[in-house]
Amino acid sequence: MEETDQSSHDIAAAAAADETLERKHAAMLERLSNRHLSRLSGKPDSNSATSFESTQSFLTQFSQSKLSIESHLSRIRENADPNRKPDLESISLEISSLEKLVAENSYFLPPYEVRTCLNTIAQLRQSVDDVTSLVIPKKKFSFKNKPSKKATTVPAEKEVVLSEPEIKLNVGLEKLGFRDLNAAPGFRDRDNEVLVKEFNRTESTGQNGEFTLSNLRDCEVRLKGRLRALFMDKLINCKVYVGAVMGSVLIEGAEGCVFVLASHQIRIHNAKNCDFYLRVRSRPIIEDSNGVRFAPYCLSYQGIEKDLTEANLGEETGNWMNVDDFRWLRAVQSPNWSVLPENERIGMVDVSNVGNVD
């Protein structure tokens, strides 16, 4: 009997200890949350603040910062003075601080509000880039290594005769690192071909470091080495294997294709039923796309590790699965993209033993 009583006492004591531990853990979490909200609102800790009030407080502060940034940009746009460059740099720092604020408080914000805030930040950055292009024009053309050739290839007067829609397109492409797509080397208007190009150091850092793939059908493209930027449009049923892109990749129109790409920035517009195997420094962006699937980078050739390392792409970031759909701002997962199931992925692709195709 005494043993039974002792056992019951031990069980009761253990249960009481567990309950006490749980209460302490809950109290600790509440203190940490209140402390964080206190830093955000500038008010003392308060147990009366609800989650909704905290969200509203954050959104109010976020909205005020957004309106302030937009107001500053509007004034700079009205007075397009190159001396306003320090002001633009200050605004960029404000946007970075706003992005940090979202990151620090994302743990209690609803997912929809987080995505909406991040989309707003992306739009603010785009506005800064647009105003910068207006206030400080032709910044991208300041690094001319071959003045005589560049002067004939990209005349300074060219921008003057462009229509307004063309100007907006060029501003967007220059932001991504592209200059003159028509003059850039590339593969265009090909069907049922294997197209190979290997970039050497001079090509990757010079004007030829920009490459274009346009209007290709049922082709296999293999680009080895390092290139500065890659633009692709109108690709159907193609396989594209690319080494290290030191700048941006822009895809405008693709269907039924497989892309293996490593780049600092990748933007995908108007893609349908395509698979992307990526290594990317920033989050991939899709727009007006559907049926697109993503998996990690899987390309191999002799010297690829050196190319990736020198392009600052030596480490896997995991961003291949952190896709932003600019046409989908709801709280739930976008239906336009998905992670490619492992049993449907291609294996490592080795493109070592291939030569250039002119």
pLDDT digits (tens, 9 = 90+) for 224-242: 999 989 999 999 999 999 9
Q: Comparing C-alpha atoms, which of 348, 221, 246 is closest to residue 307?
A: 246
Give 263-278 pLDDT, tens digit per residue.
999 999 999 999 999 9
Which of 54-63, 64-73, 149-158 holds the top average pLDDT? 64-73
The model's pLDDT over 317-343, given as tens digits with 9 standing for 90+, comes to 889 998 988 877 666 778 999 999 999
Minimum mean pLDDT among 38-42, 73-77, 109-113, 127-131: which range? Answer: 38-42
Domains of the chain: 51-135 (1.20.58.1250), 182-350 (2.160.20.70)
Determine the length of the chain: 358
pTM for this one?
0.53
What are the pLDDT digits (tens) for 182-220?
557 899 999 999 999 998 765 544 444 789 999 999 999
